[in-house]
Structure 1
Amino acid sequence: MRDLHVFRFAFMLRPPLIAFCFATLPTYAQTSSTPPANTTGAQPMQQVEVKAGAYDARRDDTASKIVVTSEEIKRYGDTSVLDVFKRLPGITVSGAAGRGGGEVRMRGLGSGYTQILINGERAPNGFSIDQLSPDVIERIEVLRAASAEFSTQSIAGTINIVLKKTVRNAQREFKLGFGKSRDASNPNASLQLSDRVDGMSYSIGANATVFDFDRGSPVEESLVAPDGRVAMLRRTDARDRGTPYSLSLAPRLNWTLEQGDTITWQSLVNANRNSYDGYAVTGTLLGQAPQYDVRDTSSRGSNALLRSDLNWVHDMAGGAKLDVKLGVNGMRNRGTWREHDDSLGARGRDAVVLSRTSERGLSSTGKYSTPWRKDHALSMGWDGGTLLRKDARIEDEAFPRSGRTVHSDERYEARVQRLALFAQDEWNVTSRWSMYAGLRWEGLETRSEGNTFEATTNRSTVWSPLAQTLYKLPDSRDQLRLALTRTYKAPSANSLVPRRFTTPNNSQTDPDFRGNPDLKPELATGIDASYEHYWAEKALLSASVSVRRIGDYTRQGLVFENGRWIQTPVNDGRADTRSLELEAKFPLSAVAHDVPDLDLRASVSRNWSRVEAVPGPDNRLDQQTPFSGTLGLDYRAPGGKLSAGASFAFRSGGPVRINVEQWACQSARRDLDLYALWKVDPRYQVRFALSNLLGQDFLSDARYVDASGVLRRSSAFPGSAMARLTLEARY
């Protein structure tokens, strides 16, 4: 299953050849009969009939899918898509509010268990999701269960971010906003242009944002002996200042050819620059002092990312269609890190690190779809690509006390090649019962080589059979869903490379990190079931449960080697996870008459998991969030001039046992956001929002427990509310 001895990527990664094979498939197909068109003419009830039969992706698709519209995405005037995700049902965002860098999680699971796609393809390496502006997004699709068309590296689920592409008419939209909190300011601007010219349409989105911050994050370290005596206590006063700013462009061109084919070119360009300074002073109240008690750091860096796709859609005979996409992507990262470490008022260490990272990649996807038999929709296709990553890290260290200097020059290359083939069929068994069956094969090869370690090659293949069904109960608006999935999680390139990243004050709670070239994919078998009740227009109650059994679970191991503590990922046994999600959304008019125009929504998620190789209690998967919930409302005043709303999101914390000796703990997170939108006239509107209104601090805790006692490191990230005012103009 995992080792593919005869696997040869040089042969398999030939997208033009594969595209030709699919293009030469027979174009004949047995089409299903369709009802005659409505010829009754314009009648008073015709509009009502069309509205009742409108397609609803969440309700009508066999695959379970939640679609978040552009209006919902822009509602709070967010400048980062992370703030949008925290309000969605069943989704949590890790980390402290307003500090960026959080990880989007479904079922409370992080570390790659949740798959993030952009336009149906995996997000580029090196791309941080918080760099994506909500203004360039057309919709967000949340898929709880895997499908063959998308990658099955989605043990927790898939989030597909679809960039804007629909151009109905000429549009000019400009936004200028400013956000301010106690410790940060965030000016931003965006421009959206779109129009049609004969058979061509175009759109372009441009966004610029600056985030200027100056904030503290105190740290406390302690050692408690087995008899309860405090043997060591240190407190660090740390302060961070920075001014990251970014610019993104998302142009799109669409041509409709005379024969009906369409060609689309879409790109995403993102450029970031960062200036950061940090200062930390450690005071030892009891016990042994650290090796360095003053740390002064600064960094300057830049990051640029390009992704460009060319998409051709060709209509064939009998309702068949061929959809082929070719893409290129690249990333360039440059950084300079300087660090001065002092001990007892004297310079103990000077370090300068120059880092250079670049990536270049090619990709090809394609899908051939056709009606097959009666009430069947068959499709098959491929998804392949190759990526070359080059990384260089030059570090110079000077130790003035001893006169010793250390120079290291580490360079490595990692080449990732992948290919996936899939086939799927969706059909209507009856008018109320639909089925979906799919099969996907994915192969992955990662080869890493560098000047400080031997070349390593890691190969894996996974077969993923998938099945989903939807049954609409007779004489009711209720429906049932069931899905059986086989998914996996492949090791990241960084976790496979056996190079070491060191920490100045090395300890069990602040160890070095080293990759493991022997890592294997984690394989998961899953079951999802849900019940949905629709009792009025836009009114939904749903309950869903899921179970996953994961083999070759990857946990973080900790070893002591040559006087240093090193953390490294290892495969270790099995893990199980279960989830329960409840959701309700409805307009107030669905339960009462003559009431304000008010929409209500609420969700609750409860997650459980158990790692077999780690003793309990609290041996949960990857710091899984046990409980989360959302509550929101949206109000529209008569006349449509004013709309307002509020959203509350809660995420529980608690301890997690990582291995026998290591524990981690995070505090609960509570986010309260408010917004108001005033439409001055058809061209201008003003949006005001308050985020993180509770200003809650975020606490993180790491512990190492052995016979000598409990070593603990606690960090605090103070929170503050941010007010944001945005002027929006359309012309």
Structure 2
Amino acid sequence: MKRNALAAGLSQALFCMAMLPASLAAIAQDQAPDAGAAADPKQLDTIVVQAEIAYRNRTDDTAPTLVYDLEYFQRFEPNTVGDMLKRVPGVGFVGSDIMEFDGAQMRGLPGGYTQVLINGKKVPGAGDDRSFWVDRIPAEMVDRVEILRSNSANRSGDAIAGAINIVLRDAYEFDGSYVRIGANRWYDGEVNPTFGAVTSGDALGGRILAGVNVQDRYRAKLKRSDRFEDPSMEELVSWEDQTEVKDGRDYSANLSYTANVGDTGRLSIDGFYVKTDRDVTEVSFEEEYDDDDVITSDVPGLATVDQANWGVGLEYRFDMAGGTTKFELDHARFTDKSWESEEAHAYENGEWDESEAEAEYIDAKDTESSFKIAHKRPVGAAEMEFGVDYRRKKRDFAFTTYEWEADDEGDPVVYELDGVVASVIEEKRLDPYIQFNGKVGILSWEAGLRYETTKSDIRYIEDGEVEGSASKDYNELLPSAHLRWDLTDADRISLSLAKSVKRPNFNELIPALLDGEFGDNDYIGNPRLDPETANGIDFGYERRLGKKGVVGINFFYRDVKNLIEVINTGAPSEEALDNWEEMVEDGDYETIEEAMAAEPAESWVFTSANVGDGKVYGVEFDLSTPLSVFGLDNTGVFLNYSYVKSKVDDFLGQRRFNEQAKSVFNIGFIQDLPSLAASFGVSYRKQGDAYERVLGEEVTVKYGEDLEAFVEKRFGKNVSLRLSAANLLDASKDEFFHKFDTLGDQIARDYDEYELETEEAGPSYQLVLRWAF
């Protein structure tokens, strides 16, 4: 493998340091953990049947980190990690359908700016922007969720907005067994089951934890679209009513094995598997007005989703050379084999006019493999950690399209191949790092350097022919520093400075010409893109309230460099070329050159480029505490609010980052009734409006208020019965589309269409029985 010289040198130096004699350890007390001196595992029955209200954890991490155990969310019975994350500070969801929470966005930035980890490790996902859909992981697999607000040298730097670490339950921390069984009822009367089971205990010379989860995923919604000539809404062009039903099932499992080896070694093996099978049925009726003609269309659509995520990891740590050495080996994979089709049967003034259909098939495989070696040891009054990460990523994507057009009414749909576009993107990374941690009096500190090297190769294939290939190497030095002042036992201040990166989206790299991607404008990817980088600051204050409560406020700022935006290449679009050729064929002009001179192009080929800078800043507040100060020890309140702003310059001027919700607000309470062995609670959430401007289209997205509630009855120490309800206010998702054919039209506000679209899904109810044994 060809490696950057600086990366290779750092890697060799760090490896030699790992072999140093233990003489340095005499400077300070050995801080390596004793594998055989672990605390007793937590009992699962105390987690399943909660006797007390759970609050946000207050961590001892120097880097700004918020930790939420599953118990914090559990009484509202979240089905997925997405249902959990919608209650934590600074995490929004823009683009998700109503009552669905898939692409998590920290600081309101698009999903690709947030790094999602499972057990501290990167995993591939469905997002073209390298994001991971968090609704793929069931809540029952999770031990805790960590919100990592700033970057550290000992993990990947792909975290401009921050990172979300989903820590799965493992055998080392849990003991016991439980079963979860329940049912969901949706607003249209559909009832779906859900089942989960977890067991953990001593086996095979160590400890094993195994969990399975099967849950039906159902969502029915109603959608209405009204389309006008322009925002004045004086002339209705068309309207559409649609019913959509998503009906499927998720299967998931996780396994963890931990064993002590010798006096100081510990071996850990973990794995997870999640599979989604889903059918999406759409039934639409459209009516369009063209002068005195009325065109109606029946538009049935069907999609089948077949996706799977799985990963396996091995870790071995042992004492060596006065410290602790760790080896990690991981492999994760995402596969997608999904089909989507849509038919349109149009009638003009009641008479059949035409029938046509389109279909597309996705065959994608995204894999990531990594190896890491790290050594941690005391040096003086500090602790030093250094290591090397090697990572290989391969994304193999094929997109096949089909089409059909009827000759007569009632002809059966017989699809014909339209085209196949495929791409292969390979990335290899070698990332050495070094990090120091220490504490002086009331001040805890962390400082580190990470050097990330990336070598990427891209191949693009169309209809079986290799159309192009490209290679790109880039390197980034990522410093980070964190300070924490423990002013008192209750008060602390934190300051973080860190540099992070965002690699280009996959579609931005592929040099394939997409005809009509933005209105009449075409688009072609740019494999020469550099990653975006950001220098970030986080400054926070946190105070402990009594024995369990905590309140905190955090200010953040990100200065983003090498921002990737769409620019005009200056080449005419396929639409413009076809128009000129038609003019010549019609005899209007003798040559293409004459037509081009007489009728300048109005649509162009656009691409992505590193164009400049962007800024993101805001404030995050969170409160989690019992009302003990009022004598209400059994009443817990939860409140968080995030407000964000940003500045980006694009082809039309200044705007916010696309899809950035202005704010996220959560408030709720839980009331425990110990004498009745019961409890109840309510949670309210409101997400601010988001705006997106791309070439040919501008969209504003608004979500309604989300109200949830639960009531719980406990039976002894081993059984609980819980009824929860979601979307009690029947919230809607409303989108406002401003559509244009060309850049000139967008600048002049000459509309192709203005559309209002709204969708609703109704309340849902869930009854769950938990039994621990």
| TM bracket (short chain) | 0.7 to 0.9
The reply on whether 1:415 has 2:432 as its aligned counterpart is: no
SS at match of 1:623: coil
Pairwise mapping of residues 340-489 of structure 1 onto structure 2 (< 5 A)? 340-344=343-347, 345-374=352-381, 376-401=382-407, 407-428=418-439, 430-452=440-462, 453-473=467-487, 477-489=490-502
| Separation (CA, whole Å) in 1 of partners of 2:5 and 2:313 | 23
Pick aligned residue for 2:332 from 302, 306, 329: 329
On the 8 A contact 1:701/1:713 being kept in 2, the answer is yes
Describe the SS at the equivalent of 1:563: helix
Question: For 2:560 and 2:573, how far apart are their aligned partners in 1?
Answer: 30
CA distance in 2, matches of 1:385, 1:569: 26
Structure 1 stretch displaced more, 623-632 or 563-572: 563-572
Confirm whether residue 204 of structure 1 aligns to residue 241 of structure 2.
no
Corresponding residue number in structure 2 for 1:674: 709
User: Per-residue deviation at 1:616?
Assistant: 5.9
Q: Matched residues in 1 for 2:642 and 2:385: separation?
A: 34
Corresponding residue number in structure 2 for 1:709: 750
1:374-429 deviation digits (Å, cap 9, x = unpaired): 2x01101122221223223333323345999663233332212222211110111x
Q: For 1:27 and 1:669, how far apart are their aligned partners in 2?
A: 61
Local SS of the residue matching 1:73: helix
d(CA) in 2 for partners of 1:464, 1:16: 15
| Contact 1:495/1:515 (<8 A) preserved | yes
- Which amino acid letter does the alignment assign opposite residue 509 of structure 2? L
Deviation, structure 1 residue 350: 3.3
Q: 1:119-158, aligned counterparts within 5 Å?
A: 119-126=119-126, 128-158=133-163
The 8 Å contact of residues 231 and 286 in structure 1, kept in 2 or not, is answered as no
Aligned match for 1:634, one of 667, 670, 680? 670
SS of match in other structure, 2:157: coil
Give CA-to-partner distance per residue, 1:158-183, whole Å, 9 cap, x none: 11111111445641111111111214
Partner of 1:490: 503
1:82-121 matches, within 5 Å, as: 82-95=82-95, 98-100=98-100, 102-121=102-121
- Indicate conservation of the 8 Å contact 1:326/1:365, yes or no: yes
Residue 204 of structure 1 deviates from its aligned partner by: 0.7
Quote the Cα distance in structure 2 between the aligned partners of 1:131 and 1:471.
38
Q: Which residue of 1 aligns with 2:42?
A: none
Say how many residue pairs are matched.
693
Equivalent of 1:562 in 566, 571, 574: 574
- Give how far 1:444 is off: 2.0
CA shift for structure 1 position 585:
2.6
In the superposition, relative to structure 1, how do residues 21 and 341 fare at CA in structure 2: closer, same or farther (>3 Å)? farther
1:276 matches 2:276: no
Query: Do 1:232 and 1:286's aligned partners in 2 also have CA atoms closer than 8 Å?
Result: no
- Contact map agreement 1:314 1:322 (CA 8 A) in 2: yes
In the aligned structure 1, how far is the partner of 2:333 from the partner of 2:450? 27
Shift of 1:546: 1.1
TM-score scaled to structure 1, two decimals?
0.87
Partners of 1:647 and 1:674 within 8 A in 2? yes
Unpaired segments of 5 or more residues in structure 2?
A: 32-55, 127-131, 409-413, 577-602, 740-745
In the alignment, which residue of structure 2 is the partner of 1:718?
Answer: 760
Cα RMSD (Å) of the superposition?
3.4
Which of 245, 249, 272 pairs up with 2:249?
A: 245
Q: Which of 165, 169, 173 is matched with 1:164 structurally? A: 169
- Residue of structure 2 aligned with 1:587, choices 604, 626, 630: 626
Mapped to 2, the partners of 1:690 and 1:440 lie a distance apart of: 46
Encode CA deviations 1:63-122: one digit per residue, 9 max, x unaligned: 111110121132211111111111112222224565435321111112311111111112
Amino acid paired to 1:368: H
Whole-angstrom CA distance in 1 between matches of 2:82 and 2:522: 29
Say if 1:268 and 1:338 are closer, same or farther in 2 by CA, change over 3 A: same
Contact 2:289 2:295 (C-alpha < 8 Å) held by counterparts: no
- The answer to whether the 8 Å contact 2:123/2:368 transfers is no
CA contact (8 A) 1:269 1:307 kept: yes
**One-letter amino acid of the structure 1 residue matched with residue 637 of structure 2:** L
Structure 1 gaps, min length 5: 1-5, 36-55
Question: Which residue identity is paired with 1:611?
Answer: V
User: Helix, strand or coil: the match of 1:517?
Assistant: coil
SS at match of 1:488: strand
**What TM-score do you get using the length of structure 2 for normalisation?**
0.82
Instruction: Return the alpha-carbon distance in structure 1 between the equivalents of residues 293 and 470 of structure 2.
Output: 40
Q: Counterpart of 2:718? A: 683
Q: Does 1:233 align with 2:244?
A: no
Partner of 1:41: none
- The aligned amino acid for 1:583 is D
CA contact (8 A) 1:555 1:658 kept: no
**Partners in 2 of 1:622 and 1:543 — Cα distance?**
25
Q: Tell me the alpha carbon deviations over residues 319-365 of structure 1, each in whole angstroms, 9 at most, x when there is no partner.
A: x1111111122333223333323333344433343332223442112
Q: In the alignment, residue 234 of structure 1 is paired with which amino acid?
A: S
The equivalent residue for 1:612 is 649
Alpha-carbon distance in structure 1 between the residues aligned to 2:198 and 2:164: 24
What code does the residue aligned with 1:350 have?
A: A
Q: Equivalent residue for 1:8?
A: 3
Are residues 703 and 409 of structure 1, via their aligned partners in 2, closer, same or farther at CA, if it must alter by over 3 Å? Answer: same
Structure 1 pair 277–359 and aligned structure 2 pair: CA distance change class (3 A): same
Provide the rounded CA distance (Å) in 2 between the counterparts of 1:584 and 1:295.
Answer: 48
Aligned to 1:32: 28
Whole-angstrom distance in 2 between the partners of 1:26 and 1:384:
26
Aligned partners of 1:290 and 1:472: how far apart in 2? 72
CA distance in 1, matches of 2:763, 2:677: 27
Whole-angstrom distance in 2 between the partners of 1:643 and 1:367: 46
Describe the superposition over 1:545-576 as per-residue Cα deviations: whole angstroms up to 9, x where unpaired: 11111112123568982229887544322111
Counterpart-to-counterpart distance in 2, 1:25 and 1:501: 56
Aligned 8 A contact 1:574 1:613 in 2 = no
Conserved 8 A contact 1:363-1:384: yes
* Paired amino acid for 1:32: A
Deviation of 1:611 after TM superposition, in Å, equals 0.8
Contact 1:232 1:288 in 2 (8 A): no
Tell me what 1:599 maps to.
636
d(CA) in 2 for partners of 1:725, 1:248? 20
Distance 1:338-1:657 versus aligned 2 partners, 3 A rule: closer
Paired residue type of 1:280? S
Deviations 1:123-180 (A, max 9, x none): 2233532110111111111111111111111111111111111445641111111111
Cα pair 1:297 1:338 within 8 Å, conserved: yes
Instruction: Work out whether residues 148 and 424 of structure 1, in 8 Å CA contact, stay in contact via their aligned partners in 2.
Output: yes
| Residue equivalent to 1:730 | 772
Aligned equivalents of 1:570 and 1:310: distance in 2? 39
Q: Do residues 259 (structure 1) and 263 (structure 2) align?
A: yes
Q: Tell me, in whole angstroms, the C-alpha distance in 2 between the residues paired with 1:577 and 1:310.
A: 38
Deviates more, 1:236-245 or 1:390-399: 390-399
Q: Distance in 1 between matches of 2:99 and 2:640?
A: 25
In 1, the alpha carbon distance for the partners of 2:11 and 2:333 equals 21
Give how far 1:22 is off. 6.8
2:687 aligned with 1:651:
yes
Q: Percent identity?
A: 20
Whether the 8 Å CA contact 1:652–1:669 is kept in 2: the answer is: no
